[in-house]
Structure 1
């Protein structure tokens, strides 16, 4: 009954407010109680409803008044045009791999493993323990928790051959994800306007980090087996570059893994030119038919700056990575990191260390290898059956992706749009080329959600290609 009464009061007052000038005073609550034979609580409820709807303003001790209607004023940010000047060419560079997939889509575009491939129980338990530890309330050292530094150093030291001095914990800098590490390395070891050699194609995030650092990117062609050492040497000689960014293990996007011979030849070229090899070992934990063998394990003269991330393998929410560098290069990078972010969350470092030192971590990696193999093979079979026009130069021995070449006449952007219209997201290969692409490629992630939909996803790609051929 009270609710009905308050509704009637609201409706009557709304009609009165509609014709009243702004600032008009409403009848007092006492007058409304008498007029509607309602309780004071009912009248107060009605006034709250009107205030919530933005129709009245209440002034305690004075009364309730019709709110003045404010005319919407368009916001003017024109002054920023002059302040910002010309937009940098890299400012709009975004990767389709970072798009969030709507429900019901077949997500072949993503750069991250599906949740079922993550050590969820280990992560949850580790976060709970970290929250109860001192790490939850204390500041981490700039270079990282000593225990985590030691773990990263030992991981590389365990595969260092006899005769090569393994890294120590003091060579390690813990990072809030490897992307920030790339930016620091490019800024400090290459420098604004200076040349940086990169494999082509290569990780889109490295291209972005280089552009934001003002570095001049010089592509070096790289195929299913990696780069040609002679081409790399020629690029060093022609450009005067002092750094080469590469992914020797399960490269993104091609999935290429360098042979031991190629790794040694590339390292010889880098040494000869007294340069740095910036080794991105992002997929270290995603071996399928082989194990990742870091080039950094064969260098103790400071030529290799080594990056390894735990973000994709542990959890996207635990953005923890590490950089291993020796000599003055490490000190320069550390100074840049201190200016950039001061330190990495001790809570996340403690959780990451907890996960990778649990007995269940190795069990998880063994199971992950089997799951990735099954997914990779299913996607390859689906592409072979439904997209016979696509060519796979390489069956990756690890990593998360297939790199497929499409017919030369393919309209890649139209293909991506047509597939998306049918609920299939694919990543156009143009994003992985630092210069003009050498052909129409797509990158397909086999670690995403719902592998049972791979055949349907491949069928959609095949149909979109066939439609282009008929048009």
Structure 2
């Protein structure tokens, strides 16, 4: 009964408020009690409802008043247009891989592994211990903690063949993640207006970093075996470029891995033209059927600038990576890094070092191989059953993604929107091309959460794709 009476009072006051001026005082509680023949508690409940809706405001000792709507003049930022001038690089929206999502969707778009694929307990314990140590209060060296430098150098040294001088710890510069490293390398080794060669398709972050550095990107087609060395040599000659960005192991997005022979030919072309190979070994810890074989391990003359990150394999919150470079190139990279970031958090460096030097780290990586393989194979099976129109040219031997070619004429942006409206988030492949896309592609991440939902998500993808091909897309 009280609820009905309270609702009746709210409805009556709504009519009164509609005809009252902002700031008008509502009838007193005593007046409302007498008018509606209810208790003071019921009146207070009705007034609380109106306060919660933002229609009225209570002023202790004065009464309740119709809320005054304050008009705030919008800020004018137009002056910044003239001050900033035209941007050096065209503005790009937030990449699909970085988008946040709601919990009730099936997500294939992320570039990061799900939490269940991370060494969660080790990371939490390492961060706790680091926070209690001097690392939480002291400034680390600009090039990084010596112990962490040594670890990165040793990791690369383990792949170095006989007769090749291995990297020294002093060749290592610790960075706040590989994305920061790409920006630094492009600025330090190429510079604004200079051409750099880049595999196509390739990592979207490299494309963004190049644009922000003001360099001119020359796309080099790259397939299941990597770029054609003859095409690469011709591009070096025609453009005068002295820098190639590539991912020889488990390329993002295709998953391609160069053979030993292809790596040799590419390295020969780089050396012959007095150039640098910027090797992004982002997926070093994500081998499935093979292991990462860095090209940098074969080079001791400073032609390969090697980049590796722990952000994806340890934790997205532990943004720690490293670049291995020799000679003047290292000094230029360190100078640019110092000007931008000065140094990387000693706390994060200490935590990362503890995680990767514990015996449990290798145990974790062995288990990770099995988990990635089962997820990859489940996604492949789902595609074959529910979306056979999505063709997989290459089954990756490592990494986190499948790269699917769709039928010619597919509008991948529209497909992505249709899928999202149906509760499935995919990444249109256009973002991974430095120039015009070579066809309609999508990238599907098999390291996301809830793999049990993969079949349902791919069923939705297949239905949306079939609808579009049949001419029923909206």
Q: Same fold (TM over 0.5)?
A: yes
Matches within 5 A, 1:47-196: 70-196=70-196
Deviation at 1:85, TM superposition (A): 2.4
Residue number in structure 2 paired with 1:351: 351
Deviation at 1:376, TM superposition (A): 0.3
Shift in CA distance, 213/19, structure 1 to aligned 2, threshold 3 Å: same
Retained in 2: the 8 A contact 1:254–1:402? yes
Residue number in structure 1 paired with 2:286: 286
Q: Helix, strand or coil for the counterpart of 1:217?
A: strand
Q: Helix, strand or coil for the counterpart of 1:312?
A: coil
Q: Does 1:255 find its partner at 2:249?
A: no
**Partners of 1:370 and 1:430 in 2: CA distance:** 30
Residue number in structure 1 paired with 2:395: 395
Residue number in structure 2 paired with 1:231: 231
Per mean C-alpha deviation after superposition, the further-off stretch among 67-76 and 398-407 is 67-76
Q: Does 1:341 find its partner at 2:332?
A: no
Residue number in structure 2 paired with 1:379: 379
Retained in 1: the 8 A contact 2:89–2:214? no
**Partners of 1:374 and 1:383 in 2: CA distance:** 14
**Partners of 2:384 and 2:220 in 1: CA distance:** 30
Retained in 2: the 8 A contact 1:307–1:324? yes
**Partners of 1:190 and 1:360 in 2: CA distance:** 40
Per mean C-alpha deviation after superposition, the further-off stretch among 132-141 and 206-215 is 132-141
Retained in 2: the 8 A contact 1:279–1:307? yes
Q: Helix, strand or coil for the counterpart of 2:245?
A: strand
Q: Helix, strand or coil for the counterpart of 1:395?
A: coil
**Partners of 1:288 and 1:206 in 2: CA distance:** 24
Residue number in structure 2 paired with 1:276: 276
**Partners of 1:313 and 1:191 in 2: CA distance:** 31
Residue number in structure 1 paired with 2:424: 424
**Partners of 1:323 and 1:469 in 2: CA distance:** 45
Q: Does 1:209 find its partner at 2:209?
A: yes
Shift in CA distance, 106/19, structure 1 to aligned 2, threshold 3 Å: closer
**Partners of 2:72 and 2:234 in 1: CA distance:** 62
**Partners of 1:167 and 1:91 in 2: CA distance:** 38
Retained in 2: the 8 A contact 1:93–1:208? no
Residue number in structure 2 paired with 1:468: 468
Aligned length in residues: 435
Shift in CA distance, 77/300, structure 1 to aligned 2, threshold 3 Å: same
**Partners of 2:136 and 2:56 in 1: CA distance:** 43
Residue number in structure 2 paired with 1:329: 329
Retained in 2: the 8 A contact 1:386–1:459? yes
**Partners of 1:224 and 1:449 in 2: CA distance:** 27
Matches within 5 A, 1:424-443: 424-443=424-443
Deviation at 1:418, TM superposition (A): 0.9
Shift in CA distance, 320/54, structure 1 to aligned 2, threshold 3 Å: farther
Q: CA RMSD in A?
A: 2.8
Shift in CA distance, 78/321, structure 1 to aligned 2, threshold 3 Å: same
**Partners of 2:383 and 2:69 in 1: CA distance:** 60
Deviation at 1:340, TM superposition (A): 0.1
Residue number in structure 2 paired with 1:10: none
Q: Helix, strand or coil for the counterpart of 2:207?
A: helix
Shift in CA distance, 154/54, structure 1 to aligned 2, threshold 3 Å: farther
Structure 1 unaligned spans of 5+ = 1-14, 25-45
Q: Helix, strand or coil for the counterpart of 2:277?
A: strand
Deviation at 1:90, TM superposition (A): 2.9
Retained in 1: the 8 A contact 2:89–2:212? no
Residue number in structure 2 paired with 1:246: 246
Per mean C-alpha deviation after superposition, the further-off stretch among 72-81 and 449-458 is 72-81
Q: Helix, strand or coil for the counterpart of 2:313?
A: helix
Summarize deviations over 1:175-209 as a string: whole Å, max 9, x none.
00010000000001011000000000000000000
**Partners of 1:447 and 1:70 in 2: CA distance:** 49
Residue number in structure 2 paired with 1:316: 316
**Partners of 1:275 and 1:449 in 2: CA distance:** 41
> TM-score w.r.t. structure 1 length?
0.87
Deviation at 1:292, TM superposition (A): 0.2
**Partners of 1:427 and 1:20 in 2: CA distance:** 52
Retained in 1: the 8 A contact 2:195–2:239? yes
Retained in 1: the 8 A contact 2:126–2:355? yes
Retained in 2: the 8 A contact 1:109–1:444? yes
